[in-house]
Chain A
């Protein structure tokens, strides 16, 4: 398997943030990606994973123990900083503000989901413009494809997990249909791809 290597100009990193959307099969998918990130990964990573209304901070703790980067739930008005992975808390939509702080809302479900991937991606596209990477992973619905299209529309980079080999192919397929995707990668390659982005500096 070949992992595309983007060569950033020596000094200037071309991206400022990564957003990830995942649904059914999310735990395994995130476990395959996030531990590959080095402790000083220079971007904030923001994740929406669909999960139960009542789920608590356990999921963040579980991943935090397995990753070099810090993994935590995003808090409202908290600033998104590099080297940290933020998970959307259960039952609220998560949005990014221009000053790179988080907002939460209780707006009704989007694509039956709250948090919704579209909501995060569209707000992040407003904030980061072309300096954003959006990634859609395994899942059983089509949340995230509009958001990924919004990221492309602002000139950002769109990555989708290869539907072949995805635990559930529906979400990657929907994203491929809706957005003009840059890279389709197997799970194992996505973590490497992110880690490689900044290696050669």
Chain B
């Protein structure tokens, strides 16, 4: 077995840089500041299953073949999600944040990186039960159009529903979870009335700008894929998007602790990763 030398690795890194540059210049999707460890892993996976000889060959292919680009786009966006993920944190939102949101006459909420929509519907259910949904506008955005389409449809596999139901109950759910969907043999579809306050839209956090002033920004398990510099930039985006005193809710393993933007937010519930923008 021949060893991979530091030299080989340097070349591979260079090729990856060129590949990302090529994808950006040709298609406008900017992955240059994503976590390099994550990029290496996903790109090597694609390389292994593509039959191409190296990253350089992948660059050539991606520039000439749009469908190959779409494939890479999917490889680089991880859509794993679920309803009421981290139920105890939803409980905190329900008991601590909703009452604060109620002090606003109208509430705008942005789910950035909503994937296939489970998180957004969880929020809509929670707001409905707390009597706030009718006063809310929810923006649910993602840059992955396939995921976004699924989010709009709101159709989920039946075998996940048991898990979702358990999460819902742990999150302080007050009704019967089955009130929110209709089921057939294989899947459930979210009731239409839950969708009325939600707008789904294609939005790239890296390259698109802020579009409205929010009282709450939810961005969970998206920033983990970004390097520190890009994280700082996106925290700046959220800062600009939030009203003074507005809330930012991150994933359970994400935080502002290692960010230059940390001091512009108060860690309202640090364990739950709920922050409050300075006034």
Instruction: Answer yes or no: A159 CB below 8 A from chain B CBs.
Output: no
Question: CB distance B4 to A76 under 8 Å?
Answer: no
CB of B35 within 8 A of CB of A95, answer yes
Q: Nearest chain A CB to B77's CB is how many angstroms away?
A: 11
B35 partner residues in chain A, CB cutoff 8 A = 95, 97, 103, 105
Given A89-B253, A154-B4, A180-B1, are A119 and B228 neighbors across the interface (CB < 8 Å)?
A: no
CB distance B4 to A78 under 8 Å?
A: no
Q: Provided the pairs A107-B80, A153-B4 are in contact, do residues A76 and B253 lie with their beta carbons within 8 angstroms?
A: yes
Q: From B224, B225, B258, name the one whose CB has the most chain A CB atoms within 10 angstroms.
A: B224
Contact of B37 among A96, A129, A152, A155 (CB under 8 A): A96
Contacts of A92 in B (CB 8 A): 224, 253
Measured between beta carbons, the chain B residues less than 8 angstroms from A98 are: 36-37
A28 at interface (Cβ–Cβ under 8 A)? no
Within 8 A of B (CB), among A50-107: 75-78, 89, 92, 95-98, 101, 103-107
Interface contact B3-A106, CB-CB below 8 Å = no
Tell me if A108 counts as interface (CB < 8 A to partner B): yes
Which of A119, A126, A127, A155 has the most chain B CB within a 10 Å cutoff?
A: A126
Contact residue among A77, A107, A119, A154 (Cβ-Cβ distance under 8 Å from B258): A77
Asked whether A122 is an interface residue with its Cβ less than 8 Å from the other chain, the reply is: yes
| B174 part of interface (Cβ distance < 8 Å) | no
For the complex formed, measure the closest distance between the CB of B38 and the CB atoms of chain A, giving whole angstroms: 5
Question: A76 with B224: in contact, given A97-B35, A103-B38 (CB under 8 Å)?
Answer: yes
- Across the interface, which residues of B come within 8 angstroms of A155, CB to CB? 3
The yes or no answer to A170 lying at the interface (CB within 8 A) is: no
B1 cross-chain contacts in A, Cβ below 8 A: 152-153, 180
Q: Which of A77, A78, A108, A119 contacts B80 (CB 8 A)?
A: A108
What is the bound-complex CA distance between A79 and B266, given in angstroms? 23
- A106-B221, A123-B37, A153-B3 known, 20 other contacts, Cβ within 8 Å: A75-B253, A75-B255, A76-B254, A77-B228, A77-B258, A78-B258, A95-B35, A97-B35, A98-B36, A101-B228, A103-B37, A103-B225, A104-B224, A105-B38, A106-B224, A107-B38, A107-B78, A107-B80, A154-B4, A155-B3
- Give the interface of A toward B (CB within 8 A): 75-78, 89, 92, 95-98, 101, 103-108, 119, 122-123, 126-127, 129, 152-155, 180
Pick the 7 closest A-B CB pairs, nearest first.
A95-B37, A77-B258, A106-B80, A123-B37, A103-B35, A104-B224, A97-B37
B residues adjacent to A (C-beta < 8 A): 1, 3-4, 6, 9, 35-38, 40-42, 78, 80, 221, 224-225, 227-228, 231, 253-255, 257-259
